[in-house]
A and B are shown apart, each in its own frame.
Chain A
Amino acid sequence: MARIVRTVDLRAGIELCTDSPIGRVQQALAGLGPEEAVAVWVKGYADEFTVTAWARRNGYAVLEVQREGEEARILLGVSPELEKEM
């Protein structure tokens, strides 16, 4: 089981003066080691789709998606392919 080393909370959505939600996820994933994970909280299916699709497309592993009502906690880790490169 990967250890959660950072948490990103995107449940507030895009605020009035926004930063990029995926930019925040990307920052949190930087330097992630094997056996480590980033937890991303999202609200709604659109953000869940965006985070998981972006992660897979960019070589990260979606370790777990745990839904609680409208919200979901997504665990992202380093994919085996990325691990080989490390």
Chain B
Amino acid sequence: MATYADPLALVDTEWVAQHLQDPKVRIVEVDYDPASAYHLGHIPGAVLFDWRKDLNDPVRRDILSKEAFEALNSRAGISNDTTVVLYGDFRNWFAAFAFWIYKYYGHADVRLLNGGRKKWIEEKRPLTEEVPSYPPTTYRAQDPDARLRAHLPYVLNVLGKRGVALVDVRSPAEFTGEITAPPEYPNEAAQRGGHIPGAVNIPWSKALNDDDTFKDAESLRRIYEEAGVTPDEEVITYCRIGERSSVTWFVLRHLLGYPNVRNYDGSWSEWGNTIGVPIER
């Protein structure tokens, strides 16, 4: 069986269980809703990153700044040479988003827990409500790696160009414009439904097994190549707010080794609200 292109980007639950006391490893739970996840019980020693508060700019719509990323890691006792293991709620969506941010700011060793929070709990591995604290560090981030991210003008500029594949990882109903966002998330709604012209719809969850672990490399390769998304192209992934697309970004970039993959984190909540941009239904 073919292995993943970057096997170190993924760890399994047993690996984490063996490294709970490892001072070189910091486990981070990344939640959208910590009240129904981290605060009910988490992997012993895991610190919490609250996606809304910790990984986004508090004022403008953007991911956290380089300085805020440095402060966040310093507070969590993470050094530049720490192995950071990410997992979280909502089937690892926000953990994958955090993984993308770690790569964006150049952290050397970051890994995703295969199967995430759900698999850890399903296996009845230990949980605690105890919130750990670690001695603060002085973390230094790299300058952002702009090759990993697409902004709206960039996407507009490559529309219709050969050699660029846009992958819409949302549900088919979102892709066709039948829905824009569930009523529970009014701030993620868009004025218009549909998709970016030329995008192919490959829902993020196609990459996962029932237990939330990733499918093997061969199966993954088939899914994307059969949809016409190949490693020789530049690939841009998007969803509604950039978290589900981080999962697909992770799969293409780190599990399949596609060399040129960007996450368009503005995603549909930006595109579908922007006046004048082209839309397909």
Contacts and interface: CB of A to CB of B under 8 A. Distances in A.
B41 interface: yes
B182 A45 contact: no
B195 interface: no
B41 A20 contact: no
Contacts of B205: 16
Given A20-B36, A22-B36, A49 B41 contact: yes
Interface stretch (B11-19, B158-166, B167-175, B214-222): B167-175
B203 interface: yes
A30 interface: no
B179 interface: yes
Interface string B197-218: 0000001110000000000000
Contact of B124 (A21, A23, A45, A57): A45
A61 B93 CA distance: 31
Question: Per DSSP, are chain A's interface residues mostly helix, strand or loop, or mixed?
Answer: helix
A19 B171 contact: no
Contacts of B139: none
Interface in A11-36: 14-23
B184 interface: yes
Contacts of A53: 40-41
Contact of A49 (B39, B121, B181): B121
Interface residues of B, number: 30
Contact of B173 (A17, A23, A45, A46): A17
Contacts of B118: 44, 46
B179 A46 contact: no
Interface residues of A, number: 18
A18 to B, nearest CB: 7
Contact of B182 (A17, A21, A50, A57): A17
Contact of A16 (B39, B170, B184): B170
B71 interface: no
21 contacts: A14-B91, A15-B171, A16-B170, A16-B171, A16-B203, A16-B204, A17-B174, A17-B179, A17-B182, A17-B240, A18-B182, A19-B183, A19-B185, A20-B33, A20-B36, A20-B184, A44-B118, A46-B121, A49-B121, A54-B35, A54-B36
Given A14-B90, A46-B119, A46-B122, 15 more contacts: A15-B171, A16-B172, A16-B174, A16-B203, A17-B173, A17-B174, A17-B182, A19-B185, A20-B33, A45-B121, A45-B124, A46-B121, A49-B41, A50-B121, A53-B41
